[in-house]
Amino acid sequence: MGSFAAVTPLLPIALAVMQQASWPHPEDVPTPAVGEVGLAGGVPPDIARFLQVRAASAPSLSPDGKRVAFRTSITGSPQVWVVDAGGGWPEQLTFGEAATEHAWSPSGEWILYASDRAGNEREGFYLVSPDGKRERELLAPSAAFRVFGGFSPDGRRIAYATTERNGVDFDIHVLDVASGRDEEVLRGRMGLYVASWRPDGGALLLVESRGEDANDLHLLDLKTRKLETLRHPDVPALYESFAWKPDSSGFYLATDEGREFAGLAWFDVTKRELAWIETPERDVESVVISRDGKHVVWTENDAGSSRLRYWALDDPRPGIPRTPELPPGVYGVTWAEGASVLAIRVTGPRVPGDVWTWDPASGATRRATGSSTAGLDLDACVLPEAVSFAARDGETIRGLLYLPGRTSGAKPPVVLDCHGGPTSQARPTFNPVQQYLLARGLAILDLNYRGSTGFGKRYARLDNGRLRPNGVRDMEDAIHWLAKDGRADAKRAAVMGGSYGGFLAYAGVTRFPELFRGAVSFVGVSNWVTALAGASPQLKASDRVEYGNVDDPKDREFFVELSPITHVKDVKAPILVVHGANDPRDPVTESDQFVSAVRANGGTVEYLRFADEGHGLRKLPNRITAYRRIAAFLERVLAERAG
Mean pLDDT for each consecutive 10-residue tract of the chain (643 residues)? 33 36 85 64 77 94 96 92 94 94 96 93 95 96 95 97 94 97 95 96 96 93 97 96 96 97 97 96 96 93 93 72 84 94 95 94 90 91 96 96 82 96 93 94 97 95 92 97 97 96 97 96 94 77 76 90 96 96 90 96 96 89 92 91 50
Radius of gyration of the chain (CA): 24
**For the purposes of burial, counting CB atoms within 10 Å of the CB of 178, is it exposed (0-12), middle (13-18) or buried (19 or more)?**
exposed
Question: Distance of CA 498 to CAs 366, 472, 556, 563, 576, Å?
Answer: 35, 15, 24, 16, 12
Query: Is the torsion defined by CA of 238, 244, 245, 247 positive or negative?
Result: positive
Helix (H) or strand (E) holding 625: helix 620-637
Parallel/antiparallel/unpaired status of strands 170-176 and 351-358: unpaired
On whether the CB atoms of residues 311 and 295 are closer than 8 A, the answer is yes
CA distance 266 to 278: 10
Q: Give the pLDDT of residue 6.
A: 32
How do beta strands 263-268 and 239-244 pair? Answer: unpaired
Side-by-side strand order, sheet with 273-278: 239-244, 250-255, 263-268, 273-278
Give the C-alpha separation, 639 to 643, whole Å.
9
How many angstroms from the chain centroid is the CA of residue 240? 15
- Among the listed residues 499, 639, 629, the one whose alpha carbon sits nearest the alpha carbon of residue 575: 629
CA-to-CA distance for 222 and 194, rounded, in angstroms?
A: 13
| Residue ranges with strand state E in 152-211 | 157-162, 170-176, 182-189, 192-197, 203-209
**Total residue count of the chain as it appears in this document:** 643
H helices of 467-548, in order, are 468-485, 500-511, 528-533, 537-546
| pTM score, whole prediction | 0.90
Measured N-to-C along each axis, helices 432-439 and 620-637 cross at an angle, to the nearest 10 degrees, of 40
The alpha carbon of 272 is separated from its chain's Cα centroid by a whole number of angstroms, namely: 32
Query: Rounded to an integer, what distance in angstroms lies between the CA atom of residue 544 and that of residue 210?
Result: 9
Q: Which residues contact 336 (CB under 8 A, 6 or more apart)?
A: 61, 62, 63, 64, 65, 291, 342, 343
Residue 399 makes CB contacts below 8 A (sequence gap 6+) with 386, 387, 388, 426, 445, 446, 447, 448, 478
**Helix, coil or strand: residue 271:** coil
How many other β-carbons are positioned within 10 Å of the β-carbon of residue 461?
A: 21
334 burial class (0-12, 13-18, 19+ CB within 10 angstroms)? buried
* Long-range contacts, stretch 294-298, CB < 8 angstroms, 24+ apart: 294/340, 295/335, 295/340, 295/342, 295/360, 296/243, 296/252, 297/333, 297/335, 297/342, 297/360, 298/241, 298/252, 298/254, 298/264, 298/333
Task: Quote the CA–CA distance of 76 and 467 in Å, as a whole number.
Answer: 41
Q: What was the pLDDT predicted at 231?
A: 97
Torsion over CA: 577, 580, 586, 588 (sign) = positive
**What is 382-637's CATH number, 3.30.565.10, 3.40.630.10, 3.30.450.40, 3.40.50.1820?**
3.40.50.1820
State how far the Cα of 208 lies from the Cα of 99, in Å rounded to an integer. Answer: 26
What pLDDT is attached to residue 31?
Answer: 86
Domain residue extents for the chain:
382-637
Q: Say how many Å lie between the first and final Cα of the chain, rounded.
A: 63
d(CA 188, CA 346): 36
